[in-house]
Structure 1
Amino acid sequence: MASCTTSPELETTKQGNNKPVVLTTFTVLADMARQVGGDRLQVRSIVKPGAEIHGYEPTPSDLEQASGADLVVENGLGLELWADRFLRAAGDVPRLTLSQGMEPLLIEGDAYAGKPNPHAWMSPQRAMGYVDGLVAGFSQLDPEGAADFRRNGATYKQQLQQLDQELRSALAELPPEQRLLVSCEGAFSYLAHDYGLEEAYLWPVNAESQVTPRRMAQLITTIKQRQVPAIFCESTVSDKAQREVAKASGARFGGTFYVDSLSGSDGPAASLLDLQRHNVNLIRRGLGSEGGER
């Protein structure tokens, strides 16, 4: 893999329009990068819509894309455990880590205890910090476009601020006793922290192999004790175990969240803004006792 070179298609594209090529590790970051980069950059995602980011296994074609990129944008905080080796094989490609300098929330009470939770983009407040990082990184990559990047970034942050207010209003409707968000993965720590929710989950970081009878029994007990009306799972993993938890606990299965991947362009989470609105609508309906999917 280390001997791969830039594909002819990618090289032709670069020569044809001279736009720097930015490669992101997954689709959520690609959407954010396009909002900031505008027409000045070509943005692609290594991981395609619907794929799991945590345990992704790069392909030779992924390496070709990386070796022809001008910048690789990653989340950091241990999300892309495969990225270091992959990018070393791709050559000396500059990297932009959007979580750099951010104080992360730490995972508690688990084998992962003390490690950072990587899902910071799930809070619009934290996502605004990602935008600042993109503006700075893109301005260094393409100094002539710095004013455009600042303007695009400011516009996007306004949209995130509006989203922040929408989420606060929607989640404020939840009864105080029904603010426990139960998902497959502990991917909502930042959203819960910033918007007054609690969370419970089957595993802290996506790894379905971590589902054990003990974990399931503990979660079922918590759901029963707290009388949680609906529980959820994420789109990039199987919801089989969570549906078993729902059946055993008496909760409804409230639907499918999008976290580590956007949906397709015709789906409910075609952008980060759409993703957040979709998730919060499910939370409001499920925990607000309007019911979920049985």
Structure 2
Amino acid sequence: MSKATFAVSMIALGLGCSSAVIADTKVPVVTSFSVLGDLVQQVGGDHVAITNLVKANGDAHVYNPAPLDAKAIASAQLVVMNGLEFEGWMPRLLESSNFKGNKVLAADGIDTIKGHSCSCGGHGHHDDHDHDHDHDHDHDHDHDHGEFDPHSWHSIKNVKVYVKNIEQGLTKVDPTNADDYQRNAALYIQKLDKLDVKLHKKIALIPEGKRKVITPHAAFAYMARDYKIDFHAPQGTSTESEASAGDVAKIIKQIRSEGIKAVFVENISDNRLIEQISRETDAKIGGQLYSDALSEPTGPAPTYLKMMEYNVDTIVNALK
């Protein structure tokens, strides 16, 4: 065999080998918390290898990144985060990891709700107030992340925007599989639409005036808006905030005066406050809601679709 032929055959072998390696290589993606981990998996399918930072049942409000997180980010091609200042620890983590890849802010372009600084019931449709979520509150304590409520995944309409943003992010870093990402996203959006119809039917079983819900922290304003449920919380939009005695007293008074039947615990919160409120009123604990994290795989809310349905079922069953 001549030297030239040998060189060509080695190049051919080399090419064959490297393209096989490329075909096997999954896109390394880091997601900030479990809801996004699931959404990226739905769109990315077999093409992605996901490292999710805040695990199932974890609280992203108070997360403390570990050295392994920085390592995962340093080798990622794509980082997917919620945005709206939900992950306050993320900018520093990206900087310390020297991340040069692509970023997706999943909540980019959604229909946002203004953040609320207290538990004064601005988290739902109630009475005959205008529902522009801009009520002035006479509270001098502000428990907000930023201007907008970051818990926007509790709206299926918003999550359809998340899915499109994720699809675009994956396509940018891995254009070869763009068709798959587009197809997966479209199929998943169909599932979201179907679930939305189903959830509206379930919630319609409870008269609008009876849809009053108390949760530990104000995570459900988007669900309140979409399904006309009236949510109240002693804490603000972050679990870091302390509920004042005044806030708690106000909630207890409200439960008594409005005959609110159920209060709910959350999978990520310190629930002692809710247990105290339940003891001091006739409101029973109606179950656990999944607010800022999915459950573990064996739990009742291991995926976004299951979480939404589980939360609505839990609320409807408690208010019946």
Please say which structure displays the higher CA radius of gyration: 2
Q: Which residue of 2 aligns with 1:102?
A: 110
d(CA) in 2 for partners of 1:208, 1:215: 15
- Does the 8 Å contact 1:20/1:40 carry over to 2? yes
Q: Which residue of 2 aligns with 1:131?
A: 163
TM-score after normalising by structure 2: 0.83
- Does the 8 Å contact 1:104/1:120 carry over to 2? yes
- Does the 8 Å contact 1:181/1:197 carry over to 2? yes
Q: CA RMSD in A?
A: 1.6
d(CA) in 1 for partners of 2:303, 2:205: 25
Shift of 1:16: 9.4
d(CA) in 2 for partners of 1:120, 1:262: 15
TM-score after normalising by structure 1: 0.90
| Worse-superposed segment, 106-115 or 277-286 | 106-115
Q: Which residue of 1 aligns with 2:292?
A: 260
TM alignment of 1:68-83, pairs within 5 A: 68-83=75-90
- Does the 8 Å contact 1:123/1:191 carry over to 2? yes
Q: Which residue of 2 aligns with 1:161?
A: 193
Q: Which residue of 1 aligns with 2:35?
A: 28
Q: Which residue of 1 aligns with 2:217?
A: 185
Question: What secondary structure is seen at the aligned counterpart in 1 of 2:232?
Answer: strand
d(CA) in 2 for partners of 1:252, 1:208: 25
- Does the 8 Å contact 1:23/1:69 carry over to 2? yes
Of 254, 258, 275 in structure 2, the residue corresponding to residue 222 of structure 1 is 254
2:196 matches 1:196: no
Count the aligned residue pairs. 275
TM alignment of 1:1-294, pairs within 5 A: 17-91=24-98, 92-108=100-116, 109=137, 111-112=142-143, 115-207=147-239, 209-288=241-320
- Does the 8 Å contact 2:264/2:274 carry over to 1? yes
Question: What secondary structure is seen at the aligned counterpart in 1 of 2:71?
Answer: helix
d(CA) in 2 for partners of 1:104, 1:251: 31
- Note the residue ranges of structure 1 that are not aligned, 5 or more in a row: 1-13, 289-294
- Does the 8 Å contact 1:87/1:93 carry over to 2? no
- Note the residue ranges of structure 2 that are not aligned, 5 or more in a row: 1-20, 117-136
- Does the 8 Å contact 2:111/2:158 carry over to 1? no
Shift of 1:103: 3.4
d(CA) in 2 for partners of 1:107, 1:218: 20
- Does the 8 Å contact 2:102/2:173 carry over to 1? no
